[in-house]
Structure 1
Amino acid sequence: MSQGSALLTLSAIDKSFDVHRVLDSVSFELAKGEVHALLGENGAGKSTLMNILIGVYSADAGTLELEGKPLKIARPVDSARHGIGMVHQHFRLVDRLTLTENLLLAADDHPGLKRRATARDTLLATAREIGFTLDPDCPVGELSVAEKQRAEICKVLALGARILILDEPTAVLTDSEASSMLGAIRRMAESGRSIILITHKLREVVGFSHRVTIMRRGKTVAAGLDTGDLSIEKISSLMMGASASSVSPDKAPGSVRPHGPDLLAVSHLHAQRDDGAPALNDVSLRVRAGEILGLAGVGGNGQHELVETLCGLRSASAGSVMVDGADALGLSPRQRRKLGLRVIPADRMASALVSDLDIAANLALTSVVSGRFGRLWLNRRRMAREAKASIERHEIAGARPRGRMGLLSGGNAQKVLLAREIDSGMKLLLAHSPTRGLDIRAAAAVHQRLREAAAGGAACLLVSEDVEEIMALSDRICVVSAGRVTGELPGDASAADIGRLILGHE
């Protein structure tokens, strides 16, 4: 390997929460000037290991070294002082402030960045160095997801990070945005920084990282392997301990579930974007009991607005929405929930879960208003008892009723959401990109829950940009483009058939 000598070493790291051992003698080594991919299924311990490195947790045992010297990190400020920074999936930016103001807000231990002009110039210089373009005077809330991510990276680097941890940096980016981001990551390494890349996209690992460390069930199963010697199949096998093909079975050929009456009927629906431009244009579709209807299409073609309109977060300008035979358009989200509507949003942490609350509270969020846990005060013992049973039933790794929601891995956080939403009162499930950012096994678990929901008589509208996911789950497939449903296909349609409709060809 042409990268430099060891910069950071974590040796024999142990961590337990109550009786649950999350890390078992884990080791990791990062060299100077390399992109080192840290891989593992959701719940393998990656997030816990990185949280120890950035001072959120303390290890129960083990040692950390930086450039061969002992490294003591008790708080996040300690890691920042040693030049370690992390860009999380959910950005640490204040939308109403400009990027310059966000840097000033984070610059408590950086006297040189206390002046606005200096902070602004530092951001621009950092962006130029790694090939980014940004406007330091633009409010963060006006930026796209990709622009926010670039802004967050520049902020962390401007604060002096020489070791950068990137958590799923391309999970919500388009292919072109992802390619641009990965190129920037390699340029950062070439400039002498060291990158820890956490991702589930194995093609990115093979194409853009120098070495790979793989964790499974809290242990290191492969440490510092040269990426050039690995195939995607080999990496998958090391991650899961089994062939990837055995994890997510395809639909059985010719399998057809019996379908009942329409539980969702959308007719001639129109809605607008936030800026007043048309988002939905004469959309009509139906989903029957026991059926999964896949809605395929490139992101940004009205899918987000459709889900918001169906669940009551966006007003329709025309058309009708019937849920289990009832007119739902004039109803609030809570009233639609009483009709049996449940939602898995595309961004679970922004729209469905509260990272700062404990897991018991998140599981109880939608039941509190009904008085299930008490009218005058909450019966927290009952909440914890029911949460414990749900955690065990749904095999949510690393979860405790009183554990903070934001500390769970993506796959286990999604399990919490599914456990809450797929309940006895569910009749219609809106699942928007339900496996985004999840590893192969976690995605397979989500797929199984959707299949089970449909088999139990629920109707499921699956909105996804992943054509393979649409093909694997759907009984029927509709394609959306420019806010219109451009065609309907049977569940056994080919990717080419779907692609032709997405591109506007009959």
Structure 2
Amino acid sequence: MAEFPTRPPLAPGTPPILQLRGIGKFFPGVIANRDVDLEVWPGEIHALLGENGAGKSTLMNVVTGIYQPDEGDILLDGYGQVFSSPHDAIRAGIGMVHQHFKLVQAFTVAENIHLGWDEAPRLASARAMEARTRAIAEQFGFPVRADARVSDLSAGEQQRVEILRVLSRRARLMIMDEPTAVLTPEETRELFRALRAFRAQGNAVIIISHKLDEVMEISDRVTILRGGRRVGTYDTAVCTPAMLATTMVGREIVRQNMRTRPPGAQPVSAAPVMGLRDVTVRDGRGVEILRDVSLDLHGGEILGIAGVAGNGQRELTEVLTGLLKPDRGQVLLDGVEMARIDPAAFAHAGVGHIPEDRLRSALAPALSITDNMALREYAIPPVGRGGLYDSGAADTLAREIAQVADVGIPDFAMPVRNLSGGNQQRLVARREIRIAHRVLVAAYPARGLDIGAIATMLSYLTDLRDRGVGVVFISEDLEDLLNVSDRVGVMFHGRLMAVVDADETDMETIGLLMGGRDPSTLPMREDGR
């Protein structure tokens, strides 16, 4: 693929909004970026691609003042800049929507929108901030509950708040790290319309994404990083998704139908290994967020769960893993009601959990990689012996998990937050698979992963299926769901609308169910379907 370092037509002498020259960033034992050059011009949407751990997020953290570069220069509008903090970057017109949310969990949506905003009115009442927040949300087409506490929001709703914070500050350069990971297709279209309008005003956007079809749709140029270095910059018009994927990972990616079971795979069990009976959950306001949900999960099958973010998926995973006690209904394991609803009891019974937000729910970011890998086994031999913690055994366990997950780690004592999001996800998945003797509940396990890592993550699920484990796989990617699931359930407003055989359905039918519509009531099409 030929490199095309072209740019949109500009007035003579117009400098790039952003220019990076020879940027290098190093951590103990890790080269995150080395000798990276990048130019982003006014009036363009620039995609930044690369495998997990390629250095994309680190590079953008350098641009936004979160990290200081160890080598190289940052130029804004042709002038050298030093950003000692994110606030400096924001004041210079650079805003970033992070993959891992930077919201204050105890604050409301309105308080988060106004936090640190120079234009926020002084001594504004909660009602005034909420009114301004609703007006901002309406302006940009992202509905939010202005008075809701962020800790009570789903991942998708929190993402909307992050995007609104940046859009409201009128940044000239907007950096978005996996911005559509938790958005519905319609929300994605609304976001892209907003970004195109932003670009038309002479501003610029950098999008970090692993969704290659979206990159092809929205970007003008693409820069690819591999191993912390820039491979090249290309006009999107001359690229294809397959070409981008091959350039990104250095090899051809072949997508397979993963529902096919290999010889020797365990058959689907006759009796359910786990089940729910008429489960209802209410939130702090008494609103039903799960309503009369009943389902069966069999050993040796993958039960996919589809639905727009915020329709009860998070609460469903928490019920299935002992994090949330139902207000009404039963949770069954091997046909017997669970007497104790807490995560330790479920883990002891062989239920693993890959949560939707790894840094918030699966990892302790400030603790070492070793400590994080021992979280599920600290009380059992060989890590836990007679009430004592064996640090040597914990280190051995962490190294075993990293080896199976194919994650290279130079220093297991460093905080787990220093790893890329994709490598964190792989480690969490392998840690949970170790205890998932009966059931694995995987919520959005491929979110934020590159195309190669997604294939690896899905293979984890099918390997467990073939060993006779029951897998609940929650995802907003319908293609992935249909590729691996035996059956697919659809959530809408806290209800399980239907459970259908994957072989007998399609994305259109699931999409209708996600919107609360019963496909059987629709007029028949001319082709008889």
Q: Tell me whether 1:467 sits opposite 2:478 in the alignment.
A: yes
How do 1:209-228 residues align onto structure 2 when only pairs under 5 Å count? 209-223=219-233, 225-228=234-237
Which residue is 1:233 aligned to?
A: 242
Deviation at 1:417, TM superposition (A): 0.8
Deviation at 1:475, TM superposition (A): 3.2
8 Å contact from structure 1 (residues 487, 501) kept in 2: no
Q: Tell me whether 1:428 sits opposite 2:435 in the alignment.
A: no
What is the DSSP-based 3-state SS (H/G/I as helix, E as strand, rest coil) of the residue aligned with 2:305?
strand
What is the DSSP-based 3-state SS (H/G/I as helix, E as strand, rest coil) of the residue aligned with 2:277?
strand
2:89 corresponds, among 68, 79, 82, to 79
What is the DSSP-based 3-state SS (H/G/I as helix, E as strand, rest coil) of the residue aligned with 1:186?
helix
1:315 corresponds, among 304, 325, 337, to 325
8 Å contact from structure 1 (residues 359, 399) kept in 2: no
Which residue is 2:275 aligned to?
A: 266
Which residue is 1:411 aligned to?
A: 422
- Pair 1:306–1:243, CA change in 2 (3 A): same
Deviation at 1:195, TM superposition (A): 1.7
- Pair 1:324–1:146, CA change in 2 (3 A): closer
Which residue is 2:193 aligned to?
A: 183
Q: Which amino acid aligns with 2:434?
A: D
1:305 corresponds, among 309, 315, 323, to 315
Which residue is 1:505 aligned to?
A: 519
8 Å contact from structure 1 (residues 324, 339) kept in 2: no
Deviation at 1:303, TM superposition (A): 3.3
Which shifted more, 381-390 or 424-433? 381-390
Q: Deviations over 1:295-336 (max 9, x none)?
A: 344555543332222222233344433224542153322111
Deviation at 1:499, TM superposition (A): 5.6
8 Å contact from structure 1 (residues 399, 408) kept in 2: no
Deviation at 1:478, TM superposition (A): 4.2
Which residue is 2:356 aligned to?
A: 346
1:2 corresponds, among 1, 5, 9, to 9
Deviation at 1:27, TM superposition (A): 1.9
1:11 corresponds, among 13, 21, 31, to 21
How do 1:318-397 residues align onto structure 2 when only pairs under 5 Å count? 318-328=328-338, 330-370=340-380, 372-373=383-384, 378-380=389-391, 382-397=393-408
Q: Which amino acid aligns with 1:404?
A: P
What is the DSSP-based 3-state SS (H/G/I as helix, E as strand, rest coil) of the residue aligned with 2:101?
coil
Tell me how far apart the structure 1 counterparts of residues 86 and 434 of structure 2 sit (CA, whole Å): 38
What is the DSSP-based 3-state SS (H/G/I as helix, E as strand, rest coil) of the residue aligned with 1:316?
coil
Tell me how far apart the structure 2 counterparts of residues 154 and 490 of structure 1 sit (CA, whole Å): 36
2:469 corresponds, among 458, 467, 470, to 458
What is the DSSP-based 3-state SS (H/G/I as helix, E as strand, rest coil) of the residue aligned with 1:285?
strand
Deviation at 1:490, TM superposition (A): 5.5
Tell me how far apart the structure 1 counterparts of residues 301 and 134 of structure 2 sit (CA, whole Å): 54
Q: Tell me whether 1:36 sits opposite 2:51 in the alignment.
A: no
Tell me how far apart the structure 2 counterparts of residues 425 and 133 of structure 1 sit (CA, whole Å): 38
- Pair 1:98–1:460, CA change in 2 (3 A): closer
Which residue is 2:107 aligned to?
A: 97
What is the DSSP-based 3-state SS (H/G/I as helix, E as strand, rest coil) of the residue aligned with 1:305?
helix
Deviation at 1:169, TM superposition (A): 1.2
Which residue is 2:3 aligned to?
A: none
What is the DSSP-based 3-state SS (H/G/I as helix, E as strand, rest coil) of the residue aligned with 2:414?
coil
8 Å contact from structure 2 (residues 174, 206) kept in 1: yes
What is the DSSP-based 3-state SS (H/G/I as helix, E as strand, rest coil) of the residue aligned with 1:457?
coil
Which shifted more, 452-461 or 175-184? 452-461
Which residue is 1:173 aligned to?
A: 183
Which residue is 1:70 aligned to?
A: 80
- Pair 1:131–1:396, CA change in 2 (3 A): same
- Pair 1:358–1:463, CA change in 2 (3 A): same
- Pair 1:145–1:430, CA change in 2 (3 A): closer
8 Å contact from structure 1 (residues 293, 460) kept in 2: yes
Deviation at 1:459, TM superposition (A): 1.8
**TM-score normalized by structure 1?**
0.85
8 Å contact from structure 1 (residues 312, 332) kept in 2: yes
- Pair 1:145–1:183, CA change in 2 (3 A): farther
What is the DSSP-based 3-state SS (H/G/I as helix, E as strand, rest coil) of the residue aligned with 2:278?
strand
Deviation at 1:26, TM superposition (A): 2.2
8 Å contact from structure 2 (residues 64, 85) kept in 1: yes
Which residue is 2:203 aligned to?
A: 193
Tell me how far apart the structure 1 counterparts of residues 67 and 332 of structure 2 sit (CA, whole Å): 48
What is the DSSP-based 3-state SS (H/G/I as helix, E as strand, rest coil) of the residue aligned with 2:217?
helix
Tell me how far apart the structure 2 counterparts of residues 114 and 478 of structure 1 sit (CA, whole Å): 46
Deviation at 1:449, TM superposition (A): 0.9
- Pair 1:319–1:454, CA change in 2 (3 A): same
Q: Which amino acid aligns with 2:244?
A: I
1:115 corresponds, among 112, 122, 125, to 122
How do 1:152-171 residues align onto structure 2 when only pairs under 5 Å count? 152-156=162-166, 161-171=171-181
Tell me how far apart the structure 2 counterparts of residues 280 and 123 of structure 1 sit (CA, whole Å): 31
Which residue is 2:498 aligned to?
A: 486
What is the DSSP-based 3-state SS (H/G/I as helix, E as strand, rest coil) of the residue aligned with 1:368?
coil
How do 1:50-65 residues align onto structure 2 when only pairs under 5 Å count? 50-65=60-75
Tell me how far apart the structure 1 counterparts of residues 73 and 416 of structure 2 sit (CA, whole Å): 27
Which shifted more, 495-504 or 282-291? 495-504
8 Å contact from structure 2 (residues 273, 438) kept in 1: no
8 Å contact from structure 1 (residues 126, 157) kept in 2: no
8 Å contact from structure 2 (residues 482, 502) kept in 1: no
Tell me how far apart the structure 2 counterparts of residues 412 and 463 of structure 1 sit (CA, whole Å): 20
Q: Which amino acid aligns with 1:484?
A: L
1:26 corresponds, among 31, 36, 47, to 36
Tell me how far apart the structure 2 counterparts of residues 277 and 103 of structure 1 sit (CA, whole Å): 25
8 Å contact from structure 2 (residues 422, 449) kept in 1: yes
8 Å contact from structure 1 (residues 296, 463) kept in 2: yes
What is the total number of aligned residue pairs between the two structures?
A: 501
Tell me how far apart the structure 1 counterparts of residues 316 and 131 of structure 2 sit (CA, whole Å): 41
Deviation at 1:44, TM superposition (A): 1.6
Q: Deviations over 1:36-91 (max 9, x none)?
A: 11111222211121122233334343332223333334544553454333221233
8 Å contact from structure 1 (residues 104, 116) kept in 2: no
The percent identity for this pair of structures is 35
Deviation at 1:35, TM superposition (A): 1.7
Deviation at 1:113, TM superposition (A): 5.6
- Pair 1:74–1:447, CA change in 2 (3 A): same
1:293 corresponds, among 295, 303, 321, to 303
8 Å contact from structure 1 (residues 10, 64) kept in 2: yes
Deviation at 1:401, TM superposition (A): 1.9
Tell me how far apart the structure 2 counterparts of residues 497 and 134 of structure 1 sit (CA, whole Å): 26
Q: Which amino acid aligns with 2:220?
A: H
Structure 1: any 5+ residue segments left out of the alignment?
Answer: none
**TM-score normalized by structure 2?**
0.81
Deviation at 1:491, TM superposition (A): 4.7
